[in-house]
Amino acid sequence: MNNPPSSNKAEMALIGSIINDYTILTDLKVKTEDFYYLQNQELFDACIKLKERLNIITLQDVLGKTYDITYANDCTNLAYTTQNYNHFEEIIISKSVLRKQIILAQQIISNSMSGNDSSDLFRQSQDFDNYSDDEMVMIKDLVGEALDNIEAYQQGKITQGIMTNIKGLDKLLNGLVDGDLIYIGARPSMGKTALAMQMGLNIAEQGKKVGIFSLEMQNAKLVKRMLVNQARVHLGMIQDRKLGEKEMKRLTDASAKLFRQNISISDKAGQSAMDILRKAKRHQKIHGLDILIIDHFHLLKPSITGTNYEKRSFDSQLIKEIAKELNIPVICLCQLSRALETRPIGDRMPILSDLKETGSLEQDGDVIIFLNRDDYWHKNNPDWVPTHDADISIAKQRDGETGKFRMQWHGATQRFDD
């Protein structure tokens, strides 16, 4: 069997560079575990401990009897100049990443052969190349750009994010911002899927690329709803086979319009947040992706084992990572707690504590939107006159104000109107 990827010369040369000039330690990203050879690991650790006291002789104090002065001299001889230390470091890190990938692949194969899910293992691979040291940026490099953005925004040259063409949302949010996680919460049958799909359709009409992961509704049914929304044709007329020539014309026009939109849908049930991350990354790389919609959070297959709280918290954090890594807004629908239904009917506008199962949704969500319809709560009241009102609340906005607005809900056409 071949030896795992490694380069003893690169490891020795980097250690030699450190012995020759300990100040390069502050510029290194390499870690002890990235060295493959034990002797090199021990030498590197000793160098870190000694720092400014580092030399061939002082290494003896740290390493004791295991210290081989001849080996240390060989290291310094390989590092005939300290100018190449970054090159040696890059070799060591690249070999380390390859070894980690081999180990992970073996674990995945073993898990899969045993019939176990390996979704959580795939996530580990995201951290293999986490050697970046550019997180800290001087404010002088940022302030000019920030001022330019403010000026351009005031002049109407740019928007804060992707506009939804829903007046109330756009007024309060100023668009959906890249990297933001937007939760839309409501009790079942309130219309949260319809609201998210309408946002997706409006965004697609602007030439944006929309991705939808529908964990509950099949592709055909979802597209049917989109057609009904766009054509403003009553669902009942379709179900009762009562479509006239005028309605068919509107549906045909809507289908032609939808055909031109860049909308992609996955309706596979039982997907995990890790599955969605992997597929969305691939789709963005090949086809492009400007916004992602997940319907819905509580149908996600857990990515880890543990208590329900732990699983849901992990999934919420991972969805936030999806938004940040893909640098797009992610809209994720979620169910609310039944406790909401114990309150008086006139006081059932959801609040943050109604989020189901985990406080992580409240923590991870950059924007949290709630939906409520009084008609829903009075559906069994024969004396109630339907208002078709839908109240929408921005209960949290990390970078802006909260607020409420009202729309009209048309269940027959699965549509919200300003």
DSSP states of 232-244 = T--HHHHHTT---
Cβ neighbours of residue 1 under 8 Å, at least 6 residues apart?
none
Residue 329: pLDDT over 90: yes
- 241 and 333, same domain (yes or no): yes
pLDDT tens, position by position, 197-255: 999 999 999 999 999 999 988 888 888 888 888 888 877 787 778 778 888 888 888 88
* pLDDT band with cut points at 50, 70 and 90 for residue 272: confident
Q: Check which CATH number belongs to the domain holding 54 and give it.
A: 1.10.860.10
In 3D, which of 172, 225, 238 has the Cα closest to residue 197? 225
- 223 and 104, same domain (yes or no): no
- 44 and 96, same domain (yes or no): yes
Let me know: does 336 contact 185? Beta carbons within 8 Å: yes
- The residue whose two tokens read 């650790």 is 45
- 101 and 239, same domain (yes or no): no
- 361 and 239, same domain (yes or no): yes
Q: Is 418 helix (H, G, I), strand (E, B) or coil?
A: coil
| Beta strands, E only, 228-378 | 263-266, 291-295, 330-335, 367-372
Q: In this structure, is residue 23 part of a structural domain?
A: yes
pLDDT tens, position by position, 273-318: 888 888 888 889 889 999 999 988 889 988 777 788 888 888 898 8
Q: What residues are paired with 404 via a beta bridge?
A: 393
- 62 and 173, same domain (yes or no): no
Let me know: does 197 contact 214? Beta carbons within 8 Å: no
Report the C-alpha dihedral over residues 351, 356, 359, 360, rounded to 10 degrees: -120
Query: Which DSSP symbol is given to 414?
Result: T
Full-prediction pTM beyond 0.85? no
Q: In this structure, is residue 34 part of a structural domain?
A: yes
Of 120-124, 140-144, 187-191, the range with the highest mean pLDDT is: 187-191
Q: In this structure, is residue 399 part of a structural domain?
A: yes
In 3D, which of 98, 105, 89 has the Cα closest to residue 128? 98
Give the pLDDT confidence score for residue 288 in this predicted structure.
92
The parent domain of residue 388 ranges over 165-417
- The Cα 195–Cα 186 span in angstroms is 11
